[in-house]
Homo-oligomer: A and B are copies of this chain.
Amino acid sequence: MTKAAAPAHEPQWLTAEEQRIWRSYLHATTLLEDQLDRQLQRDAGMPHVYYGLLVKLAESPRRRLRMTELARDAKITRSRLSHAIARLEKNGWVRREDCPSDKRGQFAVLTDEGLDVLTNAAPGHVTAVRNALFDRLTPEQQKSLGEIMQIVAEGLQPNEAGADLPWLR
């Protein structure tokens, strides 16, 4: 121990190096999200989050998902999802369906038109992601990024994959 310990109720401030890392993180993530939002808004008429919803639906059996499950997958609140689906429904890209087995439940269903929009938007989006991210990183960096982000995501996941086990927090 070469440094005096901080007073008990003082937080451990970030070191200069940590600050550098943290700022790079903030800059990169905000710039990237802005970029994707603008690209998708321009080319597909919706923000990135909404695009993500269509993707989830397209990947699901029968192109449908329960609202709660979709919200969980997309990491957004059910409230936000309700509003989002309302908007997508207005566009004709998604439609709601009642769940036969649980009268409280709703399915969000990707329409044919929605799939078309998605199909048209996808190439541009993938290209944008490549340009901004993958094309700039070495394979090692890509691997590293994946590991890091997985760790962070798991740490923040309120409840996923055996999270009803109290001793995991």
A14 to B122, CA, bound (A): 11
A86 interfacial by beta-carbon distance below 8 Å: no
Known interface pairs A31-B156, A34-B75, A152-B132. Does A26 touch B52 (Cβ–Cβ under 8 Å)?
yes
Q: Which of A16-24, A60-68, A103-111 contacts B (4 or more CB under 8 A)?
A: A16-24
Known pairs A11-B122, A28-B149, A136-B151; list 4 more (Cβ under 8 Å): A22-B133, A24-B145, A24-B146, A28-B153
Contact at B12–A150, with CB atoms within 8 Å?
no
A48 to B128, CA, bound (A): 26
9 tightest A-B contacts by CB? A21-B146, A24-B149, A11-B123, A31-B156, A27-B153, A28-B152, A28-B149, A28-B153, A24-B150
**A to B CB contacts below 8 Å, 7 in the list:** A11-B126, A21-B145, A27-B149, A28-B153, A31-B153, A132-B156, A141-B148
Number of interface residues of A (CB under 8 A): 54
A13 interfacial by beta-carbon distance below 8 Å: yes
Name the residue on B nearest A21 (C-beta): B146
Q: Which A residues are within 8 Å of any B CB, using their own CB?
A: 10-14, 17-18, 20-22, 24-35, 52, 75-76, 122-124, 126-127, 129-134, 136-137, 141-153, 155-157
Known interface pairs A26-B52, A28-B152, A32-B156. Does A12 touch B144 (Cβ–Cβ under 8 Å)?
no
